[in-house]
Structures are given as C-alpha cells and as structure tokens.
A and B are shown apart, each in its own frame.
Chain A
Amino acid sequence: MRLKTIAIAAAFLISGGMASTALADYPEKRIDMIVGFAAGGGTDVMARTIAPYLEKYLGNDVSVVVKNMPGASGQIGVTAVAEADPDGYTLGTYNLPGAMARTLDRHADYNADSFTYLANIVNDPNVIVTPKNSDIDSMDKLVEAAKARAGAVTVAMSSLGGDDHFFLQKLSDVTDADYTVVPFSGSAPARSALMGGHVTMGIINVSEVVAFRDELNVLGIASEKRSPMAEDIPTFKEQGFDLVNGALRGFVAPAGLPDDVESKLLAAFQKTYDDPDFQKAMQRSGNPTELALGEQFKALNAEQLELAKRIWETHPWK
C-alpha cells in the first residue's frame, strides 16, 4: 500500500518533472523569424544580425531562421505572426508606428492585443533636412517660411501614415503652420529629391542621413538626447521645440506565449542587447539601438497607438 503510494507519488513527480523539463527544454526545434520586408531592407538586416545572438543565448543548439514575407509595408508578415501558434517557435519583426497605424487606416486582421511584446531594439529618430544650397538652414527660418504662406513649404517623406508623417503632424502643431506633404515611395527617393532641390524640406531618419551630411543641412533631431551617430546635430528640445519622434523596430511573438518561454526569450534578448559584439554589428549596419523589453515595449506600443489614433482622428491621411 505504502509502496503503491510512493510509486504513484514518484510517477507524479516524474511526470511533473518531465512536463517541466519539456518546457524547460524550449527551444527544442527550429525557430522561424518572420520579416515583413524583402531580404536586404533595414528590418531584414536587423533580424539577420540578431539571429545568431539569439541562437547563442537561447542555447540548445537552436537555429533561428529568417523568413521573408514581404508586402503591404510589413502588414503581411505581422499578420502571419499574429496568427501563428503561440509556442515560441514563431517570432516576427515589428515596426512602429506602422504596425499600429495600419489597424486604423486599413482593414487589419490583428490589433494591439494580438502580440506578446518581446523587445524593441532600434529607435531611429526623425530629422529635418533641407537642400545644401537652401536659404532655410535653421528651425527659425523654417518656421518663418512656413508661416509666411500656408502650404508654401513642401515636405518630402517616405510614405503616409508612417513615423515621418506623424512627426510632421507634431511639427505642424508645435509651429502652428501648415505644410504640403509630398509622399515619395521610400525615403531614398525623398532624400534624392531633397539633394536635387526639388522640395523645400524633408523628414527622414537619422540613420538615413549620416552618409549624406555633406550634401544636406540637418536642422535638428527628434530625440531626447543627441544621437551617438551624429553628435553635432542639436535636438529639437535644445532649440525650444518639444518634438520627439522616431521609427521603432523590434520583435514580437503571438499573444498567449507560455510564461517560461516568454521569460527565456526576454532573457535572450536582454543578453543579446548587452553583448558588445551585437552592438558593434548594429552600429556597422547603421541602426541606432535603444532597448525596450517586455512590458516596457508593450507600453511603448500603447503610446504609439495613442499617437496614431489622435492624428487619425484629427487629420486622417486618407
């Protein structure tokens, strides 16, 4: 009788132990990392740069395989992540404010609650640039020109409903002036139009301007502190404009991830971020890093959604 009890208890223990080891064994198969853009884009390079570090810190000789699902400015990939099994074997890249803005301006099969927020790795602040030979080489002159005639200042940017567009809306509020949006498809054509002097000003990200400092005037950067990528660019706050905005790139998993899987992933992202080699690799690919882990990232997402909603309600862009 006692023996039987012991046996049952032992069986429980073993099975319980096995169950927990089964979970503790995560990851035990290949992890797919879904990227919503084609190979070679900024987001793709970030994913491929981080993959080997995740492999290292998750252990178990796991392989993290990048899968490109390009289309609809990342929406196809994000939707696939939202709809995947929450077992920790499907992760995906996540771009803000785009991912949240798409839930407002289009039909989207996901929302802010569809994800487990893992880590935001890149924060690429906006900058205002003007052509090198332009008279407008300071914020004051820009505001003056914008106020002189409504819509006289034409603004090149990469698309509607992105970080650059939201930044322009903030600028418009702060400076109390109207600007004419000229949405090119992509920031490189917008930057070239600026260099050719075809538009008055442009809004791009700091990573896209560092290689072109000699060809463009940079009026300011929309971050709290100056960027280590370009120490000489003053922040807007320094110049008396309360403007902070940027493009965020991070990683999410489907909502409902088991707790221990989530904590393992969070730990791996934290260790990766702290790895000096990883930081060096990100720097080399021109990605300004800033970590927001787990709950912090979730809060960041809510904040971005709030911003997008506010702008969508006051100034719908389509």
Chain B
Amino acid sequence: MYGNLIDALPAVLSLGNLAAVVIGVIAGICVGALPGLSATMAISVLIPFTFGMDPLVALGMMAGIYNGAMYGGSIPAVLLRIPGTPAAVATSFDGYPMAQQGRGGYALQVAVVSSAIGGIVSALVLMLLAPPLAKVTLLFGPTEIFWVAVFGMSAIVFLLGGDVLKGLISAAFGVFVSLVGADTITGAERYTFGHLELLDGINIVVLLVGLYALPPAIGLLEEVRDFDTQNTGRLNTISIWKAMPGMLKYWKTWVRSSVIGVFVGILPGAGGSMAAFLSYNEARRASKNPEEWGKGEPEGVAASETSNNADTAAALIPALTLGIPGTAVAAVMLGGLLIHGLQPGPMLFRDNPGIVFGFMWQFLFAAVLLIFLGGALATNSFAQVLRLPRPLLGAIIIALVFIGVYSINGRMFDVYLMLGFGLIGYFMDKLKFPLPPVVLGLILGGFAEQNLRLALRIGGGDWSILAASPTAKILIAMILLVVLAPLFSRWLRARKTHRANA
C-alpha cells in the first residue's frame, strides 16, 4: 500500500500534472472568492470537459479547485460578509468584524494558513489511513448518522444570536426548506407544487447564494455614498512569512479543528459547512474568552477554515472506498472519477493504484500550494477587485450570482428560486433575523429526519434501536456531555456562590 504511494509520485510530478494542480488551485480560489460561484458549480461545469482528458490531469484540476475554493470562500466572507462557499459561513462570524476593525488582511492570512494546515492534515489522512477509516464509516448506519446530525444541531444554540426568538424562527425556516422535495421514504411529495425541479430538494448553493450574496449586492447599490473616498478594502498587511510565527499560538485550534474536519468528512453526507460550524463551536467552548467570539477573534477564523479544508480529502475516503461522498463537492467529484471509468471500491485501489494514489498526492500538493498562491498572490489581488466602485461591484455580483446558480443544473428555475430567497434574505437581514441557523437547519433538518426514519424502519418501528449499537451509545453520551456540561458547571458555580453567601 505505501509502496504504491511512492510509485505514484513520479507521474504526479510530471509537468502537465503539476500544472493542472496549480491551475486548479488558482481557479478554485477565484471561484471561491467570487460571490455567487461555488466549488460544486465549478467542478460540475468542469467534469464534462474532462471526458477524454488524461485522468490525472482532470483529477489534479479538481483537487486544486476543491482546496482552492475552500480557502477562496473566506475572502469575500471576511471582506464583504458574503461567504463564497457554504463552508465559509462560520468564517464570516469573526472574519468580517476583523475586517471592519481594519484587520482584514490578518484575518485572511490566518485563513490561508489554517486552510493549508487543514488541507495537509486531510491529505495525509487520506493517503495513510483511508482503509481503516473506511471501516469507521461503515459503523455509521442510519441510527448513528441521526445522532451525529443531532450533535450538529446542538451548535444551533450558539448560532441563535442575541434574539433567541428570531434565531429559532430562522432555524425552523431552514429545516422547513430542507423538507421540500420528494420524501425518499414514502415517495410522497412535499411542497413541490407540481414542479419537477423541486423533487430533488433545494440545492444548498441556491439558498446560500440567495440569502448571502444577493442582499449585500442590493446593499452595495442601495447605499448612497461617495465611492472614491472609501478604502475599506485596504489590507495593510505584513508579509505572510513574517505573520506566520505569530499564529503558532493557534496550534490547539488547528489540531482540534483538523480532527473534527476529518471526522465529519468521513461521515456520509455531512459536509464541510457542518464541520466548520462544529469546530467553531468547539473552539469557542474551549476558549478562555468566549465573549470575544463573534466580535473579531482570529481563532474563530482559524477554527472554521482549518476544519472546512480538513474536510476536503477526508470526504473522499468514503467516496473512493464505498462510493458514498462525504460532501456535496465530493459527490460531484465522484462523478469526475466515474467519467474516467474509475469505479469506487476496494478494486479501485488494486486496479488503478497509479491514479488513486496520484490523486491523493495532488490533494497534498494543492494544500501546500494554497500558502504560496493564496497567501502571496491571490489574496491581495482579490482585495483589489473587491475595492471596485460599489455600484459596479453590485452589478457584477448580480451577474456572477446568475452564472453560479444557473450553471449547477443548467436551468432558469433555480435562478428564480434564488431570487425568492434573495428577497427573504434581504428582509431577514434588515430585521436582524440571524442567517446561520437557516443554513444549519437546511443542512441537518431533512438529513436527520431521513436517517431517523430509516433507522425506525430497520428497527420495525421500535425506538429502542436508536440506542442499540455501541457507536450510538457513545454518540448519545457525547451529546449529553456537551449539552449538560455547561448547565452542570453553572449549577456548581451557583451552589458555590450560594454557600459563600450563606
């Protein structure tokens, strides 16, 4: 197995294949950085184009795009509060406040270094631990996946924001949106209103772009402002190589978030945004000054960006070994493998070791390249682009949003849907309804429901199946610990003060 890894290296180092990774990373950063375009869209546009290409060139580009986009998404998240990809939502929590305080450049440097670290860890895990981790994936049947989703939902509590009532409304709205489409278990349709386009549910990119990219575009055009005098785009940074030693203090967050990212990655269907939310939440819980979070804490950016990149290669472990993608992007990439006749499964590793292990190397290179291309080159040029006169930037974002949503499935219907979400998002934003619970609700709502019902089917309607397996018991214990521990410690503290007073 490890011999195969070494054998695959020379092919990857050939000029064409290296160039493919470099082009992929640059393209990925651009796609991630442009509001409205997403990695899912970029790879689905790329796949038909790669039919007939050399597999390693095609896969190298995809690996590059995936890694690049996961970082690129943080650029507009930090500078404009428009997450470029679903996974960058958590990055905007602290990144945007940092930019408002004039520390946007540092936020992006933390993001690029954290992204690269997450990506490198993830690639190494994929290279060295894919077969054992695939066995871990198999432990997760519908019951266990249901509990993971519940665990993810516990993060909603921290995302509700200042106004709990509005936060809950946002979350309920997100879950409701996740229910649109055919119910896969009974086949009945929910809220499709006779539209075939809605049968498969609402693509998260459509919702995300509508909620997050359109309202700021409207905002850019709405403000009457003298655009020449504003200079919020200025980054005022020192070189990334000088900034890096100062970031070493985030090592705990890097480690924790990498583990979370990899873990979420190997679970079928969970995805990078859940990894980012979870690890943001855990990092905040572990922090000594949780009250600073959401106001511009660089560690928040580090947590979110590490884990959404740690999710990338890890998501390919179940995709390559079992054919079940860990994220939406991995699902599209699986199509990229299939189109080259690479059927996932244990045979893939035996029959095409050169390609599979080469692909893993390409992930590693892509992650390392992020620092050079992302840190040194792309970030500053994108900061320049985002300094365009506001009316022009607004107009360009509107066109980009159209391209990004239209290209996913090549139909206007998704564009109309996105416009509807855009209006909803605009008013939600103005009335101070928090948007992150909507995203988390959409990701986890239907996902939890479907797995719960599959589990109950398997158990013949007996609810005890939910706690039957050892994995499920461990997960339940973890959830209880996470939810109850803060309450318990508060109770302890209260008792202590009570005693002191007595």
Contacts and interface: CB of A to CB of B under 8 A. Distances in A.
B334 interface: yes
A145 interface: no
A38 B411 CA distance: 13
Interface stretch (A81-89, A177-185, A246-254): A177-185
A41 B338 contact: yes
Interface string B147-175: 00000000000000000000000000000
Nearest to A281: B341
Of A105, A160, A161, the most chain B CB neighbours within 10 A belong to: A160
A55 interface: no
Interface string B354-383: 000000000000000000000000000000
A172 to B, nearest CB: 16
Interface stretch (A23-31, A62-70, A135-143, A265-273): A62-70
A234 interface: no
Interface residues of B, number: 50
Interface stretch (A114-122, A187-195, A255-263, A292-300): A187-195
Contact of B322 (A42, A105, A191): A191
Given A40-B47, A196-B139, A198-B141, A188 B323 contact: yes
B460 A76 contact: no
A75 B411 CA distance: 14
A107 B194 CA distance: 8
A196 B138 contact: yes
A72 B187 CA distance: 12
Contacts of A42: 338
A38 B137 CA distance: 25
Nearest to B201: A185
A39 interface: yes
Given A38-B44, A39-B47, A191-B322, A71 B196 contact: yes
A214 interface: yes
A182 to B, nearest CB: 5
A318 interface: yes
Nearest to A208: B323
Interface in A279-306: 284-286
Contacts of B343: 211, 285-286
A212 interface: yes
A40 B196 contact: no
A67 B409 CA distance: 11
Contact of B346 (A73, A189, A193, A211): A211
A50 interface: no
Given A159-B184, A188-B323, A76 B48 contact: no
Interface in A180-232: 180-186, 188-189, 191-193, 195-196, 198-199, 208, 210-212, 214-215
B339 A182 contact: no
A154 to B, nearest CB: 5
B44 A183 contact: no
A186 B322 CA distance: 12
A39 B454 contact: no
A75 B196 contact: yes
A192 B335 contact: no
A154 B457 contact: yes
Interface string B455-466: 001101000000
Contacts of B347: 210-212
A186 B200 CA distance: 12
Contacts of A70: 409
B142 A71 contact: no
Contacts of B44: 38-39
B336 interface: yes
Interface residues of A, number: 55
Interface in A132-168: 151-152, 154, 159-161
B135 to A, nearest CB: 9
A299 to B, nearest CB: 28
A73 B182 CA distance: 11
A124 interface: no
B228 to A, nearest CB: 45
Interface in B410-452: 410-411, 450
Given A40-B335, A199-B458, A318-B187, A284 B196 contact: no
A185 B51 contact: no
A48 interface: yes
B187 A161 contact: yes
Nearest to B192: A72
Interface in B310-348: 318, 322-324, 332, 334-339, 341, 343-348
Contacts of A152: 460
Nearest to B140: A196
Contacts of A181: 457
A274 to B, nearest CB: 21
Interface string B288-320: 000000000000000000000000000000100
B188 interface: yes
Given A66-B48, A159-B184, A76 B197 contact: yes
Contacts of A66: 48
Contacts of B210: none
B268 interface: yes
A71 B194 contact: no
A212 B138 contact: no
Interface of B: 44, 47-48, 51, 137-143, 184-189, 194, 196-197, 199-200, 268-269, 318, 322-324, 332, 334-339, 341, 343-348, 409-411, 450, 454, 457-458, 460
Given A191-B323, A193-B141, 15 more contacts: A38-B335, A39-B47, A40-B336, A69-B411, A71-B200, A71-B411, A72-B196, A185-B450, A188-B322, A192-B318, A198-B141, A199-B458, A212-B345, A285-B338, A318-B187
11 contacts: A38-B335, A40-B334, A40-B339, A73-B199, A152-B460, A188-B323, A192-B268, A195-B138, A199-B141, A211-B347, A286-B341
